[in-house]
Chains A and B, each alone.
Chain A
Amino acid sequence: MKRTVPLCIAALVGFVLILSEFIPFAQSWGRTAMIWFDILAAFAFVLGGANLLKIHLLKISSQRVGWGYSVITVAAFTITMVIGLGKFGVTPSESFPQFTWSGDYLQDGSGFWWMYQYVYLPLASTMFALLAFYIASAAFRAFRAKNTEAIILLVTAFIVLLGRTYAGIWLTADPLAWLGQTLYGDPQALAMFRLDVVVEMIMGVFNMAGNRAIMIGIALGIVALSLKVLLGVDRSYLGSEE
């Protein structure tokens, strides 16, 4: 029963969504199913929060390796939630001045706004910016011309790295214009070899062809997997039997 009911719901909603794509009469059924999904997604935030607390509190209580990080996670989660829900520093909205909590939680100067601007934003930006340092280190240690495939990758990387900046134009535009003028009497004759143009060609031809092939393959895989899920053949999304 615990597994049959979710299986039936998944199959029913899945088939309703498929039918709504092909039968105009069933379009509203599909929309209703999607609204249910959106409501469930809102509840998933609560479930996600509760799950996060459960996992980290268990880790703290059993003092497993790295439990100190769990303390920070729980503290950050609780502080953010309390400040956000409590609307600290929020002034009432103009429409409902008599209600203290009627203002927007992200109002300029509010507690939640302060945490977003001065804690979350710099931390998230820093994490992303660290990529540049690790890419530089990886480029030095791992990007080796060991075989033909690696050499092709290296040459492409050079072209894209230089072509995606002004260096691409600076290095190739004038020399190719001079060469084109000298050889063919037309400065634009060899413009197709400019690094910035070659980058566009790499992205628009080789990359696009490769990505299209991958996408078509993935789409066929999704169709097969979806059918298995809807027919109840693949039940892995329900978790283990226990």
Chain B
Amino acid sequence: MGDFFTNLDRRWIFLGMGIVVALPMLLGLSFPEEPSDMVRDVFAAVDTLPEGSNILMAYDYDPATKGELEPMAAAFTRHCAKKKHKLYFITLWPAAVPMLRQNIDILESEFGDDYTYGENYVNLGFRPGNEGVIKVVVTDLKELYGNDVNGQDLQKIPMTRNLKNIQQMDLIVNVSAGTPGAKEWVQYAASKYEIKMVAGVTGVGAPALYPYVPAQLTGLLGAIKAAAEYEQTLIDAYPEFAENPATNEALRRMGPQLIAHIYIVALIILGNCIYFTDKRRGAAR
């Protein structure tokens, strides 16, 4: 038995991971979430703004991180729409344009009565230049954005006609999977021009952004766990969201996450048991 585990083919481990992820999904296993103080801070940053505030929705992620970040982005979009804020969608990632589109689809399908393109939301799309784009739009948006993603002149769109720069935003909401992303928005826009900002990032990206909280970054959501807590807070504050299954996307994903984490802990323990058994056998010889 000991030799079986010592020489365990990694395909058995892969199979185990596949099963522990698939089972909770198939069984619809989910758990309640208790929002942390950090999540409450992020929620309050959006919720306490007066109705109709200007919010820059900077979504910088691509399909690779869609599984982790999309529920977070969708929760932000729904929350902002519930508060009837004016939303300006923008991205620094070329592959993120369809991600903006998916969030706009949420506005059109769930908040269609309150949201009209050009009056309540606008899609500015992508511009190349990474942080260079931030440095320009923060002082003069129209130097770089003459038109929206559909090629429509920003002067002809009611909500962008008098928009000079990003400093007119009441809040920046950034969902980021790397560079350029939250760090660049903090360094070149939020921190320098004292614009309030909240961010949602991947689990591996979160530790590097904690130093900016709370002075330069009001709050930070890290990984699917924080997204689930945000969804729970949203449902607690606005119970009508509970009826929409799409609002529980991160909560649903916490089931497989819990079992997978326990599986990894079990593997570490098993690996160490084998290590110490082998070591003792070696010493005995």
- Docked pose: A223 CA to B27 CA in angstroms: 54
B33, B66, B152, B261, most chain A CB atoms within 10 A = B261
Surface stretch bound by A, among B49-57, B80-88, B132-140, B168-176: B132-140
Contact, CB under 8 Å: A41 / B207: no
B132, B222, B254, B270, most chain A CB atoms within 10 A = B132
Contact, CB under 8 Å: A38 / B128: yes
Answer yes or no: B163 CB below 8 A from chain A CBs. no
A38-B133, A139-B267 are known; give 19 further A-B pairs, CB within 8 A.
A41-B132, A42-B128, A42-B129, A106-B97, A106-B101, A116-B63, A120-B63, A125-B67, A133-B18, A135-B264, A137-B10, A139-B264, A139-B268, A141-B271, A164-B203, A165-B257, A170-B31, A200-B36, A208-B211
Q: Which residue of A lies closest to B270 (CB)?
A: A140
The distance from the CB of A33 to the nearest CB of chain B, in whole angstroms, is 9
- Docked pose: A211 CA to B32 CA in angstroms: 31
A30, A34, A145, most chain B CB atoms within 10 A = A34
The distance from the CB of A81 to the nearest CB of chain B, in whole angstroms, is 13
- Docked pose: A35 CA to B135 CA in angstroms: 9
Surface stretch bound by A, among B109-117, B142-150, B235-243: B142-150
Known contacts A124-B62, A140-B270, A144-B271: does B225 contact A164 (CB below 8 Å)? yes
Answer yes or no: A128 CB below 8 A from chain B CBs. yes
Known contacts A104-B150, A165-B257: does B64 contact A140 (CB below 8 Å)? no
Q: Which residue of A lies closest to B31 (CB)?
A: A166
Q: Which residue of A lies closest to B149 (CB)?
A: A104
Chain B 3-42: CB-based contact to A (< 8 A → 1; otherwise 0): 0000010100110111001000000000111101110000
B130, B140, B211, B263: the one contacting A41 at CB < 8 Å is B130
Contact, CB under 8 Å: A27 / B152: no
Contact, CB under 8 Å: B31 / A200: no
- Docked pose: A48 CA to B87 CA in angstroms: 33
CB-CB under 8 A from B10, the residues of chain A are: 137, 140-141
CB-CB under 8 A from B275, the residues of chain A are: 144-145
Answer yes or no: A72 CB below 8 A from chain B CBs. no
Chain A 93-116: CB-based contact to B (< 8 A → 1; otherwise 0): 101000000001010000001001
The distance from the CB of B274 to the nearest CB of chain A, in whole angstroms, is 9
Answer yes or no: A85 CB below 8 A from chain B CBs. no
The distance from the CB of A187 to the nearest CB of chain B, in whole angstroms, is 15
Surface stretch bound by B, among A153-161, A177-185, A231-239: A153-161
Contact, CB under 8 Å: A166 / B258: yes
B14, B18, B223, most chain A CB atoms within 10 A = B14
Contact, CB under 8 Å: A166 / B128: no
Contact, CB under 8 Å: B16 / A162: no
CB-CB under 8 A from B262, the residues of chain A are: 162, 165, 167
Contact, CB under 8 Å: A124 / B136: no
- Docked pose: A34 CA to B189 CA in angstroms: 14
Q: List 26 interface pairs A-B (beta carbons < 8 Å), by A numbering.
A: A31-B136, A37-B132, A38-B129, A38-B144, A121-B66, A128-B64, A128-B65, A135-B264, A136-B263, A137-B14, A140-B10, A140-B267, A141-B10, A141-B271, A143-B272, A154-B268, A164-B225, A166-B32, A166-B258, A170-B31, A196-B34, A203-B210, A211-B207, A212-B211, A215-B208, A215-B211
- Docked pose: A127 CA to B101 CA in angstroms: 23
The distance from the CB of B29 to the nearest CB of chain A, in whole angstroms, is 10
- Docked pose: A157 CA to B203 CA in angstroms: 13
Ranked nearest first, the 4 interchain pairs of A and B with the lowest CB-CB distance are A38-B129, A166-B31, A124-B63, A165-B258
The distance from the CB of A150 to the nearest CB of chain B, in whole angstroms, is 10
The distance from the CB of A104 to the nearest CB of chain B, in whole angstroms, is 6
Contact, CB under 8 Å: A162 / B261: yes
Answer yes or no: B45 CB below 8 A from chain A CBs. no
Q: Which residue of A lies closest to B225 (CB)?
A: A164
CB-CB under 8 A from B203, the residues of chain A are: 164
Question: Which residues in window 18-34 of A have CB below 8 A to B?
Answer: 27, 30-31, 34
Answer yes or no: B260 CB below 8 A from chain A CBs. yes
Contact, CB under 8 Å: A125 / B268: no
Contact, CB under 8 Å: A38 / B136: yes
Answer yes or no: B158 CB below 8 A from chain A CBs. no
Q: Which residue of A lies closest to B5 (CB)?
A: A140
Q: Which residue of B lies closest to A202 (CB)?
A: B207
Q: Which residue of A lies closest to B224 (CB)?
A: A164
- Docked pose: A31 CA to B165 CA in angstroms: 13
Chain B 241-264: CB-based contact to A (< 8 A → 1; otherwise 0): 000000000000010011011111
Contact, CB under 8 Å: B64 / A203: no
Contact, CB under 8 Å: A93 / B151: yes
Answer yes or no: A207 CB below 8 A from chain B CBs. yes
Answer yes or no: A229 CB below 8 A from chain B CBs. no
Contact, CB under 8 Å: A31 / B66: no
